[in-house]
């Protein structure tokens, strides 16, 4: 598609940009820096607040006026969570890791393969199928939740991690994204491979996939975020505490009968931390991937 | 676009077999887990259905969940409690999305321009931090911001009071409006902007990097100032990115749910932040009218689809420069 | 960029392959017995597995666990699988599984939800071997029990009598600082409000202490019904199905609430309401002097705010008319799914948790709730275990079930609590509020009875 042609050409030109950015600090630039730093405060303050609160004692939380940085650092909320006999925290982490990595792996495979076929082949009903795939992205999840659950019951995989993993193996969005990206890969490459005697799957595996690092990384990260943070659906599918995933912790100490704010914030930190670490690890890829696919 | 033309003979057959064997399982899979549920969703819009009522043997339809024809659709335009709440939710969703899109653009585009203008190292620092909130769970975001907005000991009012101002009941004041928008809605907008602006920022940065230097350098030679360069050179060249960002942002704004469920406690105060997705959820489960909820979902689906089609049309023309 | 992409493809695929294989293996392992939950797979034909669902409230969960352990000791052939869910999504869980008929055998439901489920045919009638309606009516107070009755049949058994009437939270430090008698002995609401005025604090236009906070989703409903009844009127219309909220008594009650917030200014309804600074939280943060909330908050407050230093009690509250007369919101209790394979066992277990006086009491003590069984509530030794129940116990005989509102959450929260709050916030006059509530409530009732 056009946007991809454009963005991929612009990426090639990107290094040339760097020459321009070196400059003395003019008055205008000082203002720019001030604006950017104010924006950073807006961005980071809630995180700092969450982190600070998780290290406060429960008395300090309700003190007026409140403190941003804890006067007395305490690990008591984390200790409470780690030693809470009703919270199998390690199990939650493990379950989240199993579910998230399985889904990400499967989505990357199915999306790139189907995206390849939709981009580079013609077959009966192609446009109809593709339109249907697009349409499924637009239906609010709250409505298909019940029938989806009925399907899982028929398959006998409710209350198991499989029940979370199996429906997540394909992603309409992933297929859409991959097709967009693969369309920009020149068909000559494919024809050349065919003349060399490559099988169709061989073309996918050896010609297409190597071109797709950034796009796969982007889809992978976003799928990771979506699955890792998913709250409502696991709650419906999983009923046994030991089979739950990590986001259940977010509301664990936040019941209808009042909440433990110190514990809720500590739990939030525990839920967010892995994804933040992974983000810092992969953030270069995400940015490039977004630029390539125009995705959000 | 660049589609390999099918050729006659074994090669053609081979390609067909490959396409068939790969796409068929994927499609069956998607049928099972998405299309089938979707059809169910369409079907129950013609029933007065709730799983809390035992109905007939087929999907619980019939019996306590009778067929009602297009009554659910007519209900949306009636003065029934659901009809009134539906129209209110539609209005709130429109307010939210129509304010959010320009707000987002007005913040992210200049920010992207600013970040692009600083040194390479600072640039990647700012970009990394600004994008960080987008990876955070929406439930956690709502919990933290809920406390920031607390009228008595929240961070925001604390800051205002330090400046000698009175605070506000940010999330619960139904009367205060800013430019006609209720204060709680403003709060959700600000929080959503916080959690979402990273995406557009990065897309704009990519778009800006794609504008060849020669244009701006030429303008510089002609004596254009920074503002003129932005307004007459950068902005027109970013038009395609802008269109794309606008529509994508609009689409995601239509589907925000958790903030309205947790942060404003199910659309409060006085239903001022009740939006369509929340209305669907509440109607289905809390008020036990899933047929009605599915009907609202169909309307939302139509809106989203029309917006998407519009987007595809808009995006099709003049991309290249 | 091709070099780095290639590397990434390999690492990605290798990672993906490995994790997928490992993950699937791990995922399969714990899921080999999915049918176990519904029971009935024992070769001896003896072993029965029951599933129990409840919402995730620590003290409720603890109380249920204690009784489950006890039940298992006494019934070694029964295995109880206890699963619980966050409150906000509990009904979503129940309903989704009801669509697939996979809900638990026994569920802990709120009494005023029961009638709409019973009407829909998705709950089982109490087994005759456990109790009959007539017998249950002798044992339980009418207010909690009637929520479980639909068309002359009993659909569940209550664990508690849910009420916010009879007692209020009072902060002793604030009473002392204002030089007021403690514990207070209010003969009327006016006296309570007079005290509350003396304890209310406003600094820089911000209310830092609300003298009397009654603006909550549950509390406004309770006060509203109580006001109407004690002033001698009735909120149901003559047909017993629709509501009549246009009586002078109903208006008087709302006017009274309005005056407390706007003339006496004992609470700022903008900063103290069901959505923010909820009384069950703000009282324990030292922001409220007198808080209108039921006795169940006491153990919650103690657990959630272990460091709250002010001395406080749940003390007796006044009422409107010459005698106490109020409507209560049923209470949490146990219901049984009609899809259970072990209906007798399910009811036996439910009755064990609710009808056995010793167990009923143990459950109330652990959760700090008011007994629904008359014999337990009337036992004077109960106060040895829950010493804060005194004010609530006195009023129990005067309560009745609020009645079939068709959609309790809609009437109680979306109509009554929301619109009264708006009225207190000066969005609408009292007269307009009454008319609006009357119209909306009856429109809802019409839409529900139409089918």
For CATH 3.40.190.10, the residue range(s) in chain C are 45-162+330-390, 167-328+405-449
Q: Which residue has the higher pLDDT, C31 or B29?
A: B29
Report the gap between the CA of B174 and the closest CA in chain A (Å).
23
The three-class DSSP label of residue A138 is coil
Q: Which residue has the higher pLDDT, B66 or B1?
A: B66
What would the two tokens of residue C55 be?
């919402």
- Average pLDDT of chain C? 88
Nearest to C276 among B66, B171, B288 (CB): B171
Tell me the per-residue pLDDT of B90-118, one tens digit each, with 9 for 90 and over. Answer: 999 999 999 999 999 999 999 999 998 88
pLDDT score of B321 more than 60? no
In this predicted structure, what is the pLDDT of residue A118?
Answer: 92
Element (H, E) at C97: helix C87-99
pLDDT score of A6 more than 60? no
In this predicted structure, what is the pLDDT of residue C45?
Answer: 55
Q: Is residue B33 part of a domain?
A: no
Query: What separation in angstroms does the CA of C363 have from each of C22, C65, C164, C341, C395?
Result: 44, 10, 19, 27, 20
Q: Which of the residues in chain C have pLDDT under 50? A: 1-44
Tell me the per-residue pLDDT of B226-235, one tens digit each, with 9 for 90 and over. Answer: 888 888 888 8
CATH class of the domain defined by C167-328+405-449: alpha beta
Residue C41 contacts B where some CB pair is shorter than 8 Å = no
For A39, which residue in chain B has the nearest alpha carbon? Answer: B130
Query: What separation in angstroms does the CA of A106 have from each of A100, A144, C28, C29?
Result: 10, 22, 16, 19
Cα–Cα distance for residue pair B256/B273, rounded to 1 Å = 11
In this predicted structure, what is the pLDDT of residue C7?
Answer: 37
Sheet with C332-336, edge to edge strand ranges: C78-85, C48-55, C106-110, C332-336, C157-158
Query: What separation in angstroms does the CA of C69 have from each of A88, A125, B259, C40, C62?
Result: 20, 60, 40, 21, 11
Q: How many domains is chain B built from?
A: 1
- Average pLDDT of chain B? 86
DSSP code string of A89-103: HHHHHHHHHHHHHHH
In this predicted structure, what is the pLDDT of residue A164?
Answer: 94
Which residues 69-108 on chain B approach chain A with CB closer than 8 angstroms?
none
Q: Percent of chain A having pLDDT more than 70?
A: 86
Residue B68's beta-bridge partner residues? none
Name which of C227, B111, C23 is nearest A33 in CA terms: B111
In this predicted structure, what is the pLDDT of residue A126?
Answer: 87
The three-class DSSP label of residue B64 is coil
Rounded to whole angstroms, the maximal C-alpha distance in chain C is 87
B230 is in which domain, residue-wise?
76-316
B110: Cβ–Cβ under 8 A, 6 or more apart, which residues?
none
Name which of C161, C152, C142 is nearest C118 in CA terms: C152
In this predicted structure, what is the pLDDT of residue A84?
Answer: 85
Q: Which residues of C186-202 are buried (b: 16+ CB within 10 A; e: fewer)?
A: beebeebbebbbebbee
Residue C203's beta-bridge partner residues? C206
Report the gap between the CA of C112 and the closest CA in chain A (Å).
16
In this predicted structure, what is the pLDDT of residue C451?
Answer: 61
Report the gap between the CA of C203 and the closest CA in chain A (Å).
12
Cα–Cα distance for residue pair A99/C64, rounded to 1 Å = 31
Cα–Cα distance for residue pair A136/A131, rounded to 1 Å = 9
Cα–Cα distance for residue pair A180/C162, rounded to 1 Å = 58
CATH topology of domain A2-12+88-293: MetI-like fold (1.10.3720)
Q: Which residue has the higher pLDDT, C232 or B246?
A: C232
DSSP code string of A197-252: T--HHHIIIIIIGGG-HHHHHHHHHHHHHHHHH--HHHHHH--SGGG--GGGGGGT
Question: What are the residue ranges of helices labelled H in C309-389?
Answer: 343-354, 357-367, 374-378, 382-385
Q: Is residue B11 part of a domain?
A: no
Residues of A in contact with B206 (CB under 8 A): 7, 10-11, 287, 290-291
Count how many pairs of residues, chain B against chain C, have C-beta atoms within 8 Å.
106
Total Cβ atoms within 10 A of residue C28:
12
Residue C243's beta-bridge partner residues? C236
pLDDT score of B2 more than 80? no
A170 to B1: CB separation less than 8 angstroms, yes or no: no
In this predicted structure, what is the pLDDT of residue C103?
Answer: 94
Report the gap between the CA of A296 and the closest CA in chain B (Å).
6
Tell me the per-residue pLDDT of B37-96, one tens digit each, with 9 for 90 and over. Answer: 888 889 999 999 999 998 888 888 988 899 999 999 999 999 888 899 999 999 999 999
The residue count for chain C:
451
Residues of C in contact with B153 (CB under 8 A): 285
Cα–Cα distance for residue pair C362/C360, rounded to 1 Å = 5
pLDDT score of A7 more than 50? no
Cα–Cα distance for residue pair A80/C402, rounded to 1 Å = 40
Cα–Cα distance for residue pair B140/A240, rounded to 1 Å = 23
Name which of A56, A40, A3 is nearest A265 in CA terms: A56
Nearest to B51 among C88, C98, C443 (CB): C98
C56 to A161: CB separation less than 8 angstroms, yes or no: no
Report the gap between the CA of C108 and the closest CA in chain A (Å).
15
Query: What separation in angstroms does the CA of C4 have from each of A30, A185, A205, C327?
Result: 36, 17, 17, 71
Tell me the per-residue pLDDT of A79-126, one tens digit each, with 9 for 90 and over. Answer: 989 998 888 999 999 999 999 999 999 999 999 999 999 998 888 888
In this predicted structure, what is the pLDDT of residue C22?
Answer: 44
In this predicted structure, what is the pLDDT of residue A291?
Answer: 65
Question: Where does the pLDDT of residue B8 fall: very low under 50, low under 70, confident under 90, or very high at 90 and above?
Answer: low
Tell me the per-residue pLDDT of A120-154, one tens digit each, with 9 for 90 and over. Answer: 888 888 888 888 887 877 777 877 888 888 889 88
In this predicted structure, what is the pLDDT of residue B17?
Answer: 86
Q: Is residue B229 part of a domain?
A: yes
Residue B142 contacts C where some CB pair is shorter than 8 Å = no
Report the gap between the CA of C443 and the closest CA in chain B (Å).
6
Cα–Cα distance for residue pair C445/A37, rounded to 1 Å = 55
Residue C287 contacts B where some CB pair is shorter than 8 Å = yes
- Helix axis angle, C248-262 to C430-449, nearest 10°: 130
Query: What separation in angstroms does the CA of C15 have from each of A202, A216, C8?
Result: 20, 13, 10
We find that the CATH architecture of domain C45-162+330-390 is 3-Layer(aba) Sandwich (3.40)
C163: Cβ–Cβ under 8 A, 6 or more apart, which residues?
C143, C222, C294, C326, C328, C329, C370, C392, C395, C396, C399
Tell me the per-residue pLDDT of B141-153, one tens digit each, with 9 for 90 and over. Answer: 999 999 889 888 7
Backbone angles phi, psi at C106, to 5 degrees: -120, 135
C24 to A213: CB separation less than 8 angstroms, yes or no: no
Tell me the per-residue pLDDT of C422-443, one tens digit each, with 9 for 90 and over. Answer: 999 999 999 999 999 999 999 9
The three-class DSSP label of residue C307 is coil
In this predicted structure, what is the pLDDT of residue B35?
Answer: 83
Domains of chain A, residue spans: 2-12+88-293
CATH number of B93's domain: 1.10.3720.10
C380: Cβ–Cβ under 8 A, 6 or more apart, which residues?
none
**ipTM for this model:** 0.84
Residue to mutate among A14, A95, A98, A239, with most C CBs inside 10 A, is: A239
What would the two tokens of residue A53 be?
């609160």
Nearest to A240 among C83, C281, C285 (CB): C83
Which of the other chains make 3 or more beta carbon contacts under 8 angstroms with chain B?
Answer: A, C
In this predicted structure, what is the pLDDT of residue C13?
Answer: 40
């Amino acid at each position: 598609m056009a946007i991809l042609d454009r963005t991929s050409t612009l990426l090639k030109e990107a290094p040339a940009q760097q020459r321009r950015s070196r400059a003395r600090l003019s008055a205008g630039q000082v203002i720019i820096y001030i604006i950017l730093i104010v924006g950073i405060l807006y961005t980071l303050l809630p995180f700092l607040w969450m982190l600070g609160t998780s290290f406060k004692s429960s008395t300090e939380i309700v003190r007026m006026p409140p403190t941003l940085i804890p006067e007395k650092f305490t690990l008591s909320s984390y200790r409470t969570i780690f030693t809470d006999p009703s919270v199998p925290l390690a199990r939650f982490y493990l379950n989240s890791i199993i579910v998230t990595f399985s889904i990400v792996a499967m989505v990357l495979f199915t999306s790139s393969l189907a995206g390849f076929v939709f981009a580079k082949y013609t077959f009966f009903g192609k446009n109809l199928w593709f339109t249907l795939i697009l349409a499924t992205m637009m239906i609010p999840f709250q409505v298909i939740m019940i029938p989806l659950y009925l399907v899982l019951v028929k398959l006998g995989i409710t209350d198991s991690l499989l029940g979370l993993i199996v429906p997540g193996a394909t992603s309409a969005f992933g297929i859409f994204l991959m097709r967009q990206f693969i369309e920009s890969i020149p068909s000559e490459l494919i024809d050349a491979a065919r003349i060399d005697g490559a099988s169709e799957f061989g073309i996918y595996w050896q010609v297409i996939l190597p071109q797709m690092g950034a796009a796969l990384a982007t889809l992978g990260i976003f799928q990771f975020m979506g699955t890792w943070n998913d709250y409502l659906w696991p709650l419906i599918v999983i009923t046994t505490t030991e089979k739950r995933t990590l986001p259940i912790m977010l509301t664990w100490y936040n019941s209808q009968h009042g909440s433990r704010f110190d514990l809720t914030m500590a739990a939030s930190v525990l839920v967010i931390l892995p994804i933040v670490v992974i983000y810092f690890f992969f953030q270069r890829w995400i940015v490039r991937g977004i630029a390539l696919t125009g995705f959000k | 676009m660049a589609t390999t033309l099918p050729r006659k003979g074994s090669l053609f057959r081979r390609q067909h077999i490959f396409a068939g064997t790969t796409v068929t399982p994927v499609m069956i899979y998607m049928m099972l887990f998405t299309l089938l549920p979707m059809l169910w969703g369409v079907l129950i819009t013609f029933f007065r259905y709730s799983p809390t009522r035992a109905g007939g043997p087929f999907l619980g339809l019939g019996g306590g969940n009778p067929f009602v024809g297009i009554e659910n659709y007519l209900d949306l335009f009636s003065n029934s409690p659901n009809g009134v709440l539906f129209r209110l939710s539609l209005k709130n969703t429109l307010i939210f999305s129509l304010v959010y899109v320009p707000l987002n653009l007005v913040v992210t585009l200049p920010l992207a321009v600013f970040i692009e203008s600083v040194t390479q190292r600072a640039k990647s620092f700012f970009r990394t931090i600004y994008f960080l909130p987008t990876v955070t769970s929406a439930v956690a975001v709502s919990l933290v911001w809920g406390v920031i907005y607390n009228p008595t000991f929240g961070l925001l009012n604390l800051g205002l009071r330090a400046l000698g101002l009175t605070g506000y009941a940010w999330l619960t004041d139904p009367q205060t409006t800013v430019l006609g928008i209720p204060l709680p809605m403003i709060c959700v907008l600000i929080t959503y902007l916080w959690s979402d602006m990273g995406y557009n920022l990065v897309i704009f940065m990519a778009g800006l990097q794609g504008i060849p230097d020669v244009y701006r350098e030429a303008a510089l030679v002609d004596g254009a100032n920074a503002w003129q360069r932005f307004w007459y050179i950068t902005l027109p060249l970013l038009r395609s990115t802008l269109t794309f960002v606008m529509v994508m942002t609009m689409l995601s704004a239509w589907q925000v749910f958790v903030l309205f469920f947790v942060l404003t406690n199910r659309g409060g105060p006085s239903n001022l932040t009740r939006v369509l997705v929340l209305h669907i959820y509440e109607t289905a489960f809390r008020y036990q009218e899933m047929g009605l909820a599915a009907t609202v979902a169909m309307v939302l689906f139509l809106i989203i689809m029309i917006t998407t089609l519009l987007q595809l049309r808009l995006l099709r023309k003049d991309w290249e420069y | 960029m091709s070099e780095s992409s290639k590397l990434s493809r390999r690492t990605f695929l290798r990672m993906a392959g490995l994790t997928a294989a490992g993950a699937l293996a791990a995922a399969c392992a714990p899921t080999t017995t999915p049918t176990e939950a519904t029971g009935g797979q024992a070769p001896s034909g003896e072993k029965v597995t029951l599933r129990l669902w409840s919402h995730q409230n620590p003290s409720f969960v603890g109380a249920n666990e204690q009784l489950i352990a006890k039940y298992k000791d006494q019934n070694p052939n029964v295995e109880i699988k206890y699963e619980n869910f966050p409150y906000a999504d509990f009904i979503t869980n129940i309903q989704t599984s009801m669509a697939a008929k996979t809900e638990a055998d026994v569920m802990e439901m709120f009494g005023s939800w029961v009638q709409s489920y019973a009407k829909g045919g998705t709950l089982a009638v109490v087994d005759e071997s456990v109790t009959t309606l007539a017998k249950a009516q002798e044992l339980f107070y009418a207010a909690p029990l009637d929520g479980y009755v639909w068309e002359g049949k009993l659909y569940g058994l209550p664990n508690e009598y849910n009420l916010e009437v009879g007692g209020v939270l009072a902060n002793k430090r604030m009473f002392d600082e204002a030089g007021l008698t403690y514990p207070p002995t209010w003969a009327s609401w006016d006296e309570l409000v007079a005290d509350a005025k003396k304890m209310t604090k406003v600094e820089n236009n911000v209310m830092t202490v609300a003298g009397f906070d009654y603006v909550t989703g549950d509390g406004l409903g309770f006060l509203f019904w109580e006001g109407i009844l004690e002033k001698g009127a009735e909120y149901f219309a003559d047909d017993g199905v629709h509501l009549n909220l246009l009586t002078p008594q109903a208006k008087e009650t709302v006017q009274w609430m309005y005056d407390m917030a706007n003339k006496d200014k004992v609470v700022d309804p903008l900063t103290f309401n069901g959505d923010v600074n909820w009384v069950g939280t703000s009282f324990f943060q030292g922001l409220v002097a007198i808080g209108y909330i039921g006795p169940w908050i006491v153990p919650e407050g103690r657990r959630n705010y272990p460091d709250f230093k002010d001395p406080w009690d749940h003390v007796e509250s006044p009422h409107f008319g010459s005698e106490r007369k109020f409507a209560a919101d049923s209470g949490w209790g146990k219901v049984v799914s009609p899809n259970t394979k072990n209906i007798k066992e399910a009811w036996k277990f439910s009755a064990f948790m609710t009808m056995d006086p010793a167990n009923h009491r143990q459950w109330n003590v652990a959760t700090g709730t008011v007994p629904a069984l008359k014999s337990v509530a009337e036992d004077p030794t109960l106060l040895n275990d829950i010493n804060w129940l005194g004010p609530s116990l006195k009023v129990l005989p005067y309560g009745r079930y609020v009645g079939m509102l068709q959609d309790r959450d809609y009437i109680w929260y979306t109509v009554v609590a929301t619109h009264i709050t708006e009225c207190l916030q000066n969005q609408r006059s009292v007269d307009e509020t009454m008319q609006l509530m009357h119209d909306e409530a009856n429109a809802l009732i019409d839409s529900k009875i139409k089918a």
